[in-house]
Amino acid sequence: MNVLKWLEDWYANECNGDWEHTFGIKIETLDNPGWIIKIDLEETSLGDVVIPYQYFEKEEGDFYGFKIENKQYNAFGDPSKLEFLLLNFQKIVEDTIRDPEM
């Protein structure tokens, strides 16, 4: 399954008549240029997950970073990293389902 379809399914599963009125997913562009993703995790299976800020840069223009804190997945990266950042979120969700102590 491609990551966009997976994200659609994850979002639909979180919608319960209340969650979607307060929480959600934002994908925007940066002026670096690049992408920024914010996914609310309040009232989801990842609500208690914390992942410290991690930043990776191979060279100028090839970068990404992410964290989970305050019940939100925050990720950013260069223009080529949108799919990668979504796949990273998918992996975190799937790892958390397999190991709830994460």
pLDDT in tens, 33-56: 999 999 999 999 899 999 999 999
The 3-state DSSP class for residue 57 equals: strand
Q: Give kind and range of the element (H or E) at residue 74.
A: strand 72-77
The b-or-e profile of 42-51 (16+ CB within 10 A means b, else e) is eebebeebee
Torsion sign across C-alpha atoms 49, 13, 65, 100: positive
pLDDT in tens, 51-100: 999 999 999 999 999 999 999 999 999 999 999 999 999 999 999 877 66
Give the C-alpha separation, 26 to 36, whole Å.
8
Give the start-to-end residue ranges of the domains of the chain. Answer: 3-98
Nearest C-alpha neighbor of 19 from the set 44, 38, 39: 44
Give the C-alpha separation, 13 to 52, whole Å.
26
Helices (H) and strands (E) in the chain, counts: 3, 5
